[in-house]
Amino acid sequence: MARKIVLLGATGSIGVSTLDLFEASGAQVDILALTAGRNVALLAQQALRWRPRVAVIADEDRLPELRQRLEGSGVRAAGGAQAVIEAAAMGADWVMAAIVGVAGLAPTLAAARSGAVVALANKESLVCAGPALLATAKQAGGTVIPVDSEHSAIFQVLDPANAAQVSRLILTASGGPFLNWNKAQMARATPAQAVAHPNWNMGAKISIDSATMMNKGLELIEAAYLFDTPPGKIEVLVHPQSIVHSMVEYADGSTLAQMGLPDMRSPIAYAFSWPARMAWPAPPLDLAVVGALTFHAPDDDRFPAIDLARAAISLGSGGPAALNAANEAAVAAFLDRRIGFLDIAPACEETLDVMDRSGALTAGDGDPIEAALAIDAQARAVTARVVGALKAPLEART
């Protein structure tokens, strides 16, 4: 029987890869909803191909255009943030959560509340409200399956029967496009250079996060929540070939790794077919062609974001939400060329400092989602001030 599917963030890199996988594998799917942020043209094209019950555009101003493009197709058009949340809660068996940023939190939570299997790409929702999101899924009788390649790798080799014997989780990192750049070069890096990832073809925000290695910082927090592991037992290892997607080290001296080509359709396939495996025409991994797999420790001086993530966790339950918000705001400022590439991490650090001093990062008794969103808003305001103050030095530099 066809599985009922909702795709949140259908027009993004992960959304497109998910539909690609359905196409390539001939999976039996009944798509209830496809949602997008602003890309009406692609959303309409996908809706005409996949015939969901509803296509939702988050940007309400674009709803008339969506309606027009879907006229006579039998696919209902809807618009606005609330309509995205309603789509998430339509009663799907499987929801792909692939909206980028904290904008994905409410829809992802709604999917978890519906009891669906949530395939989680939207790492920011887990970073901001991990424990609440995981508890919600559990209470509803659903589950969260990681799509992020590193977490999928760990999920595939982490043996729950031997959880007590896990000594370390080892997250691999490609190192991004600036792996071998010096600080002077990084200071002048343009958004186009930062988005050009050597191994993975991804959305702009996560590509910048890979270049700063904030992506690995967010992934460290993601792993801590998903696998209920203290951050001190999670390490990062740079592996420029992106073939070993992550590893689990056991106390008996065995380290288990999961390997594959850098192709998100593989972790998406596992999240779709879990607990079984599915066949699709996956490009085979030929290690003789890859030749060498290399590994080294990250350079914390050029890439301070991993340490910032560790610091954020230690500041209290609101620390990760504040770091995530600061990073989203700083990345947006960098993409707009309002700050330089090397200003991103210091802007995050200063935001964390200000938020910590204000006492906002330790948990109150209220609703954890409301609390995360309140911290998100406060942190963005702080980052906006920090970024505003950075403007002059940047103009002086260029």
Three-point CA angle 364, 368, 371, nearest 5°: 65
Pick 116 or 354: Cβ nearer ligand NAD: 116
Shortest CB 151 distance to ligand NAD, Å: 9
Which of Mg ion, ligand NAD, none interacts with 52 (beta carbon under 5 to 8 A by kind)? none
Residue 148 interacts with ligand NAD (CB under 6 A): yes or no: yes
**Binding-residue total with Mg ion (CB under 5 A):** 3
> What are the two backbone dihedrals, phi and then psi, of residue 285, each rounded to the nearest 5 degrees?
-85, 120
Question: Which stretches within 214-336 are classed as H helix?
Answer: 214-226, 265-273, 287-290, 305-314, 319-335
Residue 100 interacts with ligand NAD (CB under 6 A): yes or no: yes
Q: Beta strands 29-36 and 54-57: pairing type?
A: parallel
Which of ligand NAD, Mg ion, none interacts with 200 (beta carbon under 5 to 8 A by kind)? ligand NAD
Please state, in angstroms and rounded to a whole number, the distance separating the CA atoms of residues 94 and 2.
11
**Binding-residue total with ligand NAD (CB under 6 A):** 28
Chain residues 31-70 in contact with ligand NAD, contact rule CB under 6 A: 36-39, 58
Pick 53 or 394: Cβ nearer ligand NAD: 53
Please state, in angstroms and rounded to a whole number, the distance separating the CA atoms of residues 289 and 91.
44
Which of ligand NAD, Mg ion, none interacts with 202 (beta carbon under 5 to 8 A by kind)? ligand NAD
Please state, in angstroms and rounded to a whole number, the distance separating the CA atoms of residues 376 and 329.
10
- Note the Cα 90 to chain centre separation in Å: 23
Within 10 Å of residue 220's Cβ, how many Cβ atoms? Answer: 26
Shortest CB 81 distance to ligand NAD, Å: 6
Shortest CB 286 distance to ligand NAD, Å: 22
Residue 209 interacts with Mg ion (CB under 5 A): yes or no: no
| Closest CB to ligand NAD: residue number | 12
Per-residue x/- marks for Mg ion, 136-175, CB under 5 A?
A: ------------xxx-------------------------
- Note the Cα 1 to chain centre separation in Å: 30
Residue 103 interacts with ligand NAD (CB under 6 A): yes or no: yes
Pick 266 or 360: Cβ nearer ligand NAD: 266
The region of 92-100, 230-238, 345-353, 382-390 touching ligand NAD under the rule CB under 6 A is 92-100
| Closest CB to Mg ion: residue number | 148
Per-residue x/- marks for ligand NAD, 193-232, CB under 6 A?
A: -------x-xx-xx--------------------------
Which of Mg ion, ligand NAD, none interacts with 238 (beta carbon under 5 to 8 A by kind)? none
Please state, in angstroms and rounded to a whole number, the distance separating the CA atoms of residues 172 and 174.
7
Q: Which helix (H) or strand (E) holds 247?
A: strand 244-250
Residue 12 interacts with ligand NAD (CB under 6 A): yes or no: yes
Which of Mg ion, ligand NAD, none interacts with 116 (beta carbon under 5 to 8 A by kind)? none
- Note the Cα 80 to chain centre separation in Å: 22
Please state, in angstroms and rounded to a whole number, the distance separating the CA atoms of residues 264 and 273.
14
Q: Determine if the peptide bond prior to 230 is cis (ω within 30°).
A: no
Pick 114 or 152: Cβ nearer Mg ion: 152
Residue 186 interacts with ligand NAD (CB under 6 A): yes or no: no
Please state, in angstroms and rounded to a whole number, the distance separating the CA atoms of residues 194 and 300.
18
Residue 93 interacts with Mg ion (CB under 5 A): yes or no: no
Nearest CA-CA partner of 222 in 312, 294, 346, 110: 312
Does residue 166 contact residue 229 with C-beta atoms inside 8 Å? yes
Shortest CB 307 distance to ligand NAD, Å: 20
Instruction: Please state at what angle helix 204-212 crosses helix 319-335, rounded to 10 degrees.
Output: 110
Within 10 Å of residue 254's Cβ, how many Cβ atoms? Answer: 10
Question: Which of 21, 77, 83, 84 touches ligand NAD (CB under 6 A)?
Answer: 84
Residue 128 interacts with ligand NAD (CB under 6 A): yes or no: no
Please state, in angstroms and rounded to a whole number, the distance separating the CA atoms of residues 149 and 180.
23
Please state, in angstroms and rounded to a whole number, the distance separating the CA atoms of residues 159 and 117.
20
Pick 82 or 199: Cβ nearer Mg ion: 199
Please state, in angstroms and rounded to a whole number, the distance separating the CA atoms of residues 194 and 175.
12
Residues that bind Mg ion (CB under 5 A): 148-150
Residues that bind ligand NAD (CB under 6 A): 9-15, 36-39, 58, 84, 98-100, 103, 121-124, 148, 200, 202-203, 205-206, 264
